[in-house]
Amino acid sequence: MRHLLPVALLVAALLAPPAPVGAQQAPPKAPQQRPDETTIRREVKLVDLIVTVVNRRQKLITDLQKEDFTVSEDGLPQEIRYFGRQTDLPLRVGMLLDTSNSIRDRMKFEQEAAIDFLYNVIRRRKDQAFLMVFDNEPSIIQEFTDELGTLRDVILRQRAGGGTALYDAIYAACKERLGNPPLPTGESPEVRRVLVVISDGDDNLSSHSRGEAIEMAQRGGVVIYAISTSTQWVSAIEEKDPAKRSNRKYHMEAADKVMEQLAEETGGRAFFPYRVDDLAQSFLDIGDELRSQYSLAYVPANKSADGKFRRIQIRVNRKGLIVRARKGYFAPRASAEAPKPASRPPGN
């Protein structure tokens, strides 16, 4: 027993924090048993990326290794610290339904598209979804649930009317619901956050900008899939001839480009269908895509806590492959600094 005291004093001395460089050494004092003195805290800021890789035929590529990827930030190469394949993670899906007056003629299309997406993607007892509608302002109609029948019935009860606050709805959905979704129990409480936006892309009432909506999605790791309700680009011949229909527009209106940017900046996809039937295979592909992705993470070489937007570029060393991931992120801002307006992605 007489050897225990010297050993304890030696351990305490090794764990005690060193004095600052250049400071005068104080006389030694008896060690005090305070737990916080023996805890070393270090914060490492990782940039996490969820990456989908497909070939030119949109077939998923799932056999890549860490060495196949390169990541750069604002043109500077970054070291990939962590790599993995994220398969079969539980999904937390926000269904965002435009119920403004501008889509009155396409309300049935929206309802059918939303229901088809949920039935093709959501798995009971594993995935969950909520429904938010927006006209003059966003409103939660159904909280997170895995009951598809409940979601379907709520969707079918919606009616169109009012203005369009699209950006406010995206901002609120990402911050208030997808920012803190219900997590699964167990050792790995990870989920995939997804926002499905069904709208014509017009906005005339939001208090938040498009850039702020995209920023909130990027900060929360939310992937946006945008489904356009616009049919202005469809000609009479194309409506009658199924062989001439396509999910790619011949001419992009301003609102179409909004839907495309929402998806591309967050690593998702935009769809421009004419009929719900045109979406059936796309929804199945999205379900597979969300469960067959790569996870990359790096510690940025740029340590500045300036709150600015930083562009990310991800490449693979195989020819003919397409990478989908968020286009960048907003750096943290030092807590001592006064808040400043964040930089916005181009096009906002």
Per-residue pLDDT reduced to its tens digit, 115-147: 999 999 999 999 999 999 999 999 999 999 999
- pLDDT value for 7: 39
As a whole number, mean pLDDT of residues 57-64 equals: 93
As a whole number, mean pLDDT of residues 328-339 equals: 72
- pLDDT value for 348: 55
- pLDDT value for 345: 59
- pLDDT value for 161: 93
Q: Smallest Cα–Cα separation from 154: which of 125, 181, 138, 131? A: 131
- pLDDT value for 297: 96
Q: Smallest Cα–Cα separation from 68: which of 55, 58, 56, 83? A: 83
Q: Quick check: 86 pLDDT over 60?
A: yes
Q: How confident is the model at residue 287 (pLDDT cuts 50, 70, 90)?
A: confident
- pLDDT value for 37: 41
Q: Quick check: 216 pLDDT over 60?
A: yes
Take residue 107 and report the two structure tokens written for it.
Answer: 């309300």
- pLDDT value for 286: 86
As a whole number, mean pLDDT of residues 212-236 equals: 86
- pLDDT value for 250: 60
293: three-class secondary structure by DSSP: strand
Per-residue pLDDT reduced to its tens digit, 297-312: 999 999 999 989 999 9
- pLDDT value for 6: 44
As a whole number, mean pLDDT of residues 240-267 equals: 77
Q: How confident is the model at residue 17 (pLDDT cuts 50, 70, 90)?
A: very low
Q: How confident is the model at residue 66 (pLDDT cuts 50, 70, 90)?
A: very high
Per-residue pLDDT reduced to its tens digit, 93-108: 999 999 999 999 999 9
- pLDDT value for 284: 84
Per-residue pLDDT reduced to its tens digit, 160-206: 999 999 999 999 999 999 999 999 987 778 899 999 999 999 999 99
Take residue 276 and report the two structure tokens written for it.
Answer: 């719900």
- pLDDT value for 274: 81
What residue ranges do the domains of the chain occupy? 47-86+296-330, 91-290
Q: How confident is the model at residue 249 (pLDDT cuts 50, 70, 90)?
A: low
- pLDDT value for 88: 84
Q: Please give the CATH architecture assigned to the domain spanning 91-290.
A: 3-Layer(aba) Sandwich (3.40)
As a whole number, mean pLDDT of residues 22-42 equals: 42
Take residue 92 and report the two structure tokens written for it.
Answer: 């937390």
Q: How confident is the model at residue 341 (pLDDT cuts 50, 70, 90)?
A: very low
Provide the percentage of residues in the chain whose pLDDT is more than 70: 78
Q: What is the mean pLDDT of the chain?
A: 83
CA distances from 252 to 52, 53, 202, 218, 234 (A): 25, 25, 13, 24, 12
The DSSP string of 126-171 is T-EEEEEEESSSEEEEEEEE--HHHHHHHHHT----S---HHHHHH
**Do 348 and 214 meet the contact criterion of CB atoms below 8 Å apart?**
yes
Q: Give the phi and the psi of residue 284 in degrees, each rounded to 5.
A: -65, -40
- pLDDT value for 269: 93
Pairing state between β 192-199 and 91-98? parallel
Q: Quick check: 235 pLDDT over 60?
A: no
